[in-house]
Amino acid sequence: MDGKILAASSKHTKPVDRVFQYGTAGFRMKANLLDSVVFRVGLVAALRSRKLGGQTIGVMITASHNPPEDNGVKLVDPMGEMLENSWEAYSTELANARDEDLLKVYKSLEEKLKINGETTARVIYARDTRASGPALVRALVDALDATGTEYTDYKLLTTPQLHYLTRCTNTEGTPQSYGDVSEKGYYEKLSEAFVRAMKGKKTVGAVTVDCANGVGGPKLHELVKYLKKGSEGGVDIKIINDDVLKAESLNHECGADFVKTKQRAPPTSKAGNNERCCSLDGDADRIIYYFNDPEHGFRLLDGDKIATLAASFIGDLAREARLAEELKIGVVQTAYANGASTKYVEKSLGLPVVCTPTGVKWLHHAATKFDVGVYFEANGHGTVVFSPQALKAFHTKEPESPAQAAALNTLRALADLINQTVGDALSDMLLVETILAHKAWTPREWDLTYVDLPNRLVRVEVKNRNLFKTTDAERKLVEPQGLQEQIDALVSKVRDGRSFARASGTEDAVRVYAEAVTRGEADDLASKVAGLCRQEGVGS
Ligand code: 16G
Ligand code: MG
């Protein structure tokens, strides 16, 4: 095997002057820099699989909402979760090894982690629609071949579909089986669960889905075929921005990130006033809703609004099913969640809120501490996870009334509808559509559940973002010294003010968030805090 690894690695040499880091979403950068990284991620996948006794590891090649010329790669653990933390460091180490040291570093990891090289390694992989994908897949396959790994190529998939398939592969034939191990199995599971959850109800009007010209487009078209088979179209889906042939159109003036940051609909959207729209990102693990209100203009229904909608609906169902006492329901957010949403969950819904650092893995982990853990980042990454106790209760609780039976039935359907492995734009969309159908709500009624505090996000370029160190789920700075006290002083002068600064995990910048009771105060607070950070970040 050693000779094979050496020979293969010579075809995938590392750019000398580059330092790579496995960040919150794996490795991500300009695609032309990724060849050696993807090759080495293949080596890590083989090691990880062997370490876990030959369980299957997922490898996804995507750069999500980044521009078309970027790409990225990330690893998926056996139950469909994000890669375990300590392995991010091993991946980084291997990605940065000099070509001549690569085998040595590989071997030392094998030894340090007590990995049996004889164990069969297994990997499944897929990619999004980027033009650079096929060449990067070849680099991955070279590593899998060199390490004698068994693999399956799932070609084009959304990121959550790969998470789903990883879990299905590892649970196949066990009582924990998560579904049929095929893309078709994914559509069947979702569409069947959707029909059960909808109970013959219909949503008000159509939903326009912007697929960011990414892999979500063809996959949603496929899903719609299954939905049509089952229900006589309980939901009317209009698909836009589904061109995956024009490479340069990916995430260009469309997609979840565009809509969230620009606070406007993609120019290609033809939806009229009060018509529901949603946007996926380039790999369909993120979704946000929006609509145009004739009085107030563009209205965003972001991750916070999806989380509160889901928590309120599931909370009601748990009460109707008489499970509210025995199941712990909670909401997990990050510091970016609008203060009004946190207040709404705690005060109006009466549910606990936990705050974690940014990044899906932190939220997901915290959500699993609840029986029903609803987690969403404001930017639209999120899902709802059910504990084994909750699933058991949904199936074994004896109903004492038809209403209770109906609630249990819906809860069981939701548990199948909602992707348990990771936030999934397609599954989340069907969840939102289900809830709106049950409540017979237009987007306007959903929007009115609470009013967001005006807020502002500022990106501050600094020389060294690592000088900014935070605590308390990124809500407070511990370094540079004294800066937090200055921020606190500014915040105290503003009504309902809140502000924090943190180093970005994906680019060389510090992000400042501020909110307050008025637009003017929020903007002013954000620019003053950004000014302080800029001063601290200069010259260091
Ligand atoms: C990554 C994270 C996303 C987070 C973003 C923050 C995953 C899959 N993705 O894209 O959840 O919101 O980073 O970026 O975890 P930032 O650190 O640059 O603000
Ligand atoms: Mg994404």
* pLDDT digits 0-9 by tens, 368-401: 999 999 999 999 999 999 999 999 999 999 999 9
Annotated active-site residue 64? The verdict is: yes
Measured between alpha carbons, how far is 248 from 264 in angstroms, rounded to an integer? 21
Residue 167 lies in a domain: no
Q: Domain for residue 172, yes or no?
A: no
Ligand 1 site, residue 379, Cβ cutoff 6 A: yes
Annotated binding residues for Mg(2+), written as ranges, equal: 64, 281, 283, 285
pLDDT in tens, 65-120: 999 999 999 999 999 999 999 999 999 999 999 999 999 999 999 999 999 999 99
Q: Which CATH number is 34's domain given?
A: 3.40.120.10
Q: What is the pLDDT of residue 540?
A: 46
If pLDDT is split at 50, 70 and 90, which confidence band does 23 have?
Answer: confident
**Lookup: tokens for 530:** 């950004």
Q: Which residues contact 245 (CB under 8 A, 6 or more apart)?
A: none
If you average pLDDT over residues 29-35, what whole number do you get?
97
Q: Which of 21, 22, 24 to mutate to test the pocket of ligand 1 (most atoms within 8 A of CB)?
A: 24
CATH number at residue 466: 3.30.310.50
Quote the radius of gyration of the chain (alpha carbons, Å).
Answer: 23
The ligand minimizing its distance to the Cα of 74 is 1
- Domain of residue 349, residue span: 185-452
Pocket test for ligand 1, best of 74, 358, 510 (most atoms within 8 A of CB): 358
Angstrom distance (rounded) from CA 413 to CA 427: 12
Is residue 169 assigned to a domain? no
Kindly state whether residues 50 and 80 are assigned to the same domain.
yes
Which residue has its alpha carbon closest to ligand 1 atom 8?
25
For the segment 490-514, the average pLDDT, to the nearest whole number, is 94
- Ligand with smallest separation from the Cα of 286: 2
Q: In terms of domains, do 419 and 494 share one?
A: no
Is residue 493 in some structural domain? yes
Asked which of 452, 481, 508 is the last residue of a domain, the reply is 452
Q: For residue 165, is it within any domain?
A: no
Q: What residues contact 402, with CB distance under 8 A and at least 6 apart? A: none
The Å distance, Cα 119 to ligand 2 centre, comes to 33
- Among residues of the chain, what percentage have pLDDT more than 90? 94
Q: Which residues make up each annotated binding site for substrate?
A: 377-379, 502-506, 511
For residues 467 and 420, membership in a common domain is answered with no
Band of pLDDT at residue 233, cut at 50, 70 and 90: low
Whether residue 64 is found in the same domain as residue 97: yes
83 & 207 share domain: no
| Residue 173 is assigned to a structural domain of this protein | no
- For residues 334 and 408, state if they share a domain: yes
Please state the rounded mean pLDDT for residues 160-169.
Answer: 98
Task: Of 300, 324, 301, give the one whose Cα is nearest residue 314.
Answer: 324
Are 130 and 216 within one domain? no
**Kind of pairing between the strands at 276-280 and 287-293:** antiparallel
Contact 514, 521 (CB under 8 A): no
Cβ neighbours of 267 (radius 10 Å): 9
Residue 388 lies in a domain: yes
Q: Is the CB of 360 under 6 A from ligand 1?
A: yes
pLDDT of 426 over the 60 cut: yes
- Tell me the two tokens of residue 286: 């993120």
348 and 332 assigned to the same domain: yes
The answer to whether residues 252 and 300 belong to one domain is: yes
Whether residue 435 sits in one domain with residue 337? yes
Pair 250, 131 in one domain: no
Q: How far is the CA of 188 from the centre of ligand 1 (A)?
A: 30
Q: From the CA of 528, how far away is ligand 2's center (Å)?
A: 31
**Beta-strand runs (E) in 267-381:** 276-280, 287-293, 297-301, 329-334, 353-356, 372-376
d(CA 443, CA 537): 42
Atom of ligand 1 nearest to the CA of 507: 18
* Ligand 1 center from residue 344 Cα (angstroms): 25
Give distance in angstroms: CA of 286 to centre of ligand 2: 6
24 C-beta closer than 6 A to ligand 1: yes
Count how many domains the chain has. 3
Question: So what's the pLDDT on residue 505?
Answer: 86
Q: What is the pTM of this model?
A: 0.96
Q: Which ligand is located closest to the Cα atom of residue 459?
A: 1
- Burial label for 124, CB within 10 Å (0-12, 13-18, 19+), is buried
Label residue 434 left, alpha or beta by phi (over 0 means left) and psi (-120 to 50 means alpha).
alpha
Kindly state whether residues 483 and 353 are assigned to the same domain: no
Residue 180 within any structural domain of the chain: no
Which residue, of 452, 469, 504, is where some domain finishes?
Answer: 452
Final residue belonging to a domain, choices 422, 452, 482: 452
Q: Which of 64, 191, 231, 499 is catalytic?
A: 64
